[in-house]
Structure 1
């Protein structure tokens, strides 16, 4: 599409930053409101997370029948998912199908990175500037920038001297990489590393996995979706979606309402076995008992079970122990990895595991990697070192609100929002699935639809009333931040040294970012805010 000269800002009702699931649906709803709207996307294509994360084995850890839009029954009836957990390429095809089906591409501008957004209270509009100098003047600015979209760049000394090739999981070559016959080092054992490991091992002459902290991984029990299953789900999709709306994570996983403490050892083991295998694996493990994430002893039962599975699967006792998370990491307080044959891969003769907590990486050499104890000869290095989660993409933009207040300065001690949607001092700015909302602890597509629908209703109502300025009040924001922290502190989540609290980023404030009380409780709160005339907002 054509672009506007930098000297002539384009005037729009709404500008959306990012074109993954959130940006695409916000565009759809903005059009329904009759707004002039454009989406700016930094990548060469749409899809957000699923455009950038093309690494081997990349797939969603939420079931595809739920990780999909619900706003159009025609869409969910016509699209046929092929697997329980969709691979990256299939999700990307789905996103592109949605863009084409609803004719959304004309308002999407690719290869455009936003560098600044400054609010002017006199005009009640945002001036948004791109990296290339293009400018937009807009009434509403919506950040659909994603929670896991700014990779944590590798910072090992000597990387520039490495004679081989290196790759990051979040910036994988579109054409793929052939590791056949190569000695490969993998740094990082979070979700991306866990998904990659079996596929890298199948290609490489030798794979060395460098692990700092063992994480829990549970089997996906992935399988093809038969025509019979698809027909059954489609015939009852409305009911499935309704169950998801009332489920803790926005995805119905048949939660057990019993405490792990009230059952016998035999019944507890039977339930864990059922969740691990018979119920379908994945996040169902977290729904095995009602108190796994609240009561230390209940959590310890789950942790002991998971470690027993690792020891059963991995044949070498020393390797098994390295793969077993320590007692200081409660089960599920770091995001569970959902895998296919991850632990089994360490039984291969061409795979080795290195404990870099005991022997830290000291640098990259021309020939490979050096730890405190040994040099490793490598032809290729893969970094699966994670993201600046939840806040990274927002703070990458120079955002300034009322009286020039900098969002980076406001969030220097950690993110603060009202409802995970709005920020006091930053009128007409909305964040989709931001910190302070269920976000990454939920089925993201469900939470995205919830936020976009709520924002769209707010804009429709205020425009009808002649209101041009929407701002969260500081006391409401303070109360919400307090509530989010109070809810988190009733659980074991803050104990986990995870990216949920920014622990993977050196120097990042340690603040628990998602809202843990669940999707139904959160939805009732924001619906109540709307029913009370958007309580906690200044509308004028």
Structure 2
């Protein structure tokens, strides 16, 4: 980047990128390629986004590493050698640093800096952006790559500050090692993150109390090591994989290709389920039968198959089965966690499961956690795996104001709306990745969807500039049309009937709407491509 203009203490840029994770790094690279003066800002001290903050014990992704990749450079893909199919957080953070160093991106990233506000100036048609350090930036374009799970719910229970021991939120885990050996540990939350923590720390803690509210269907992860020869085989498929992930339902290299449920005998259906169960990946969720998302009867049968697998591992213990095996929602309508001997942890003598449906957490006290039955669970360490204000939370925590001083935070407190998760009407030249109403908000292999959005945004800006346009804004009519299509698509599924973060149910007062577009990644990409090929109808340029 050429040096930004500075006048009256204001930094003047063509574009500001918020975030230096998977999307932010690629967006910085693409805008620099166009010759724009651009800088990325991140609250962390290094690159990585979610892979910087989520360094809790056991953190690893559950997309296979061969598709959790950047697709703009075959040479980049082949020159990084992962150690295993599902690498852990430290290796993923190293990979993103490797990418940033290869592309020389860090010189244009300002770390340890949070964007506090961004106000659109209608007179200049530019954004005035302020950091938590007081720096003012004047930029034409603002691209939010804040992440869909980057607003942790930290103050979850009354009395947290009174606790005599240590409290950690998994999404804000310290860099320094946390010693849990021999300690009395409480883990609150049994979603994908809580499961990874629980199975990882179980061998070292003195005792563990696990506070269970919503049980999860789980699938055992198979995580083989990768040799150089095996990685070379994946490298040889680079172009095929790149094309493949863009067209599947969830952006992986597998898809629903087993044929329709109705056309199979019970024995054939069982064979498909057994085959994908043995796969040890999210293919059990995203490559068996799509009907599980729509049809109550199919959902029941697939769910019962998974319940049977879980019962066996819990030794058919009636109390544990009742607490840990879901019965009030179907398999796949929540996020499906992959795990490694998670259920077996509950069979340990030093582990106690606390039923939070029977007796919810009331507050944190100096000695530990008090539940509604009046019992105080005394512990030394509390680990909060209580999740995030997903999709909308990161942007809502910035004071974002568009035309007429309208506040995005206030609008989204009333109703969460976007135009394809790429823009919001009333906020000219604000582009978003990982925002609500796009597959990238939840239902996608993130590298697939985030790169597609970055490419679309970059091409849109390039198109505007080449046509002498300074401002791009989604129209009200187009946003209305997309919201209606999104809702109609969602309403046909069982997902909208569940209580989950997919629906915003985990945040009190959050408007209820499926956060992620569920019409399929391939379908979404096709619609985006058609818009671009037609000159961006629905996006007013002036």
TM-score range, shorter chain: over 0.9
Residues of 2 paired with 1:258 and 1:376: CA distance? 50
The alpha-carbon deviation at position 415 of structure 1 amounts to 1.7
1:348-387 pair list within 5 angstroms: 348-373=348-373, 374-387=375-388
- Structure 1 window deviating more from structure 2 (181-190 vs 266-275): it is 266-275
1:404 Cα deviation after fit:
1.2
Pairs within 5 Å for 1:57-456: 57-277=58-278, 279-315=279-315, 316-326=317-327, 328-373=328-373, 374-439=375-440, 440-456=442-458
CA–CA distance in 2 between the matches of 1:124 and 1:390? 27
Cα distance in structure 2, aligned partners of 1:370 and 1:17 = 39
In the alignment, which residue of structure 1 is the partner of 2:31? 30
1:233-281 CA-partner distances (Å, limit 9, x unpaired): 111111122221221111112533423343222222222111111x233
Give TM-score scaled by structure 2 length.
0.96
Asked whether 1:529 is paired with 2:528, we answer no
Q: Distance in 2 between matches of 1:536 and 1:28?
A: 27
> What is the root-mean-square deviation in Å for CA atoms of aligned residues?
1.7
Decide whether the 8 Å contact of 1:5 with 1:134 is kept in 2: no
Quote the Cα distance in structure 2 between the aligned partners of 1:418 and 1:51: 29
SS at match of 1:38: strand
Residue 292 of structure 2 aligns to a residue whose secondary structure is coil
1:283-316 Cα offsets, whole Å, 9 max, x none, are: 4333211311111111111111111111100123
Secondary structure of the residue that 2:486 maps to in structure 1? helix
Please list every run of 5 or more consecutive structure 1 residues that lacks an aligned counterpart in the other structure. Answer: none
Instruction: State whether residues 273 and 284 of structure 2, in contact with CA within 8 Å, keep that contact through their aligned partners in structure 1.
Output: no
Of residues 1-10 and 230-239 in structure 1, the stretch that sits farther from structure 2 once superposed is 1-10
1:4 is displaced (CA, Å) by 9.6
Preserved contact between residue 402 and residue 427 of structure 2 (Cα < 8 Å): yes
Structure 1 residues 175 and 472, CA gap change in structure 2 (3 angstroms): same
Q: What TM-score, normalized to structure 1?
A: 0.97
SS of residue paired to 1:202: coil
Q: 1:8 to 1:231 in 2, by over 3 A?
A: same
CA distance in 2, matches of 1:365, 1:182: 18
> What is the DSSP-based 3-state SS (H/G/I as helix, E as strand, rest coil) of the residue aligned with 2:261?
coil
- 2:541 paired residue number: 539
Matched ranges for 1:462-477 at <5 A: 462-477=464-479
Secondary structure of 1:139's counterpart equals: strand
Offset at 1:433?
A: 2.4
1:373-409 deviation line (CA, Å, top 9, x unaligned): 3222211111000000000110111111112111122
Q: Is the 8 A contact 1:330 1:495 kept in 2?
A: no
Aligned length: 538
Residue segments in structure 2 that go unaligned for 5+ positions in a row = none
User: 2:23·2:145 contact (CA, 8 Å) conserved in 1?
Assistant: yes
1:21 aligned residue: 22
Determine if contact 1:276/1:285 at 8 Å carries over to the other structure: no
Deviation at 1:491, TM superposition (A): 1.2
* Secondary structure at the counterpart of residue 203 of structure 2: helix
Distance 2:331 2:418 in 1: 28
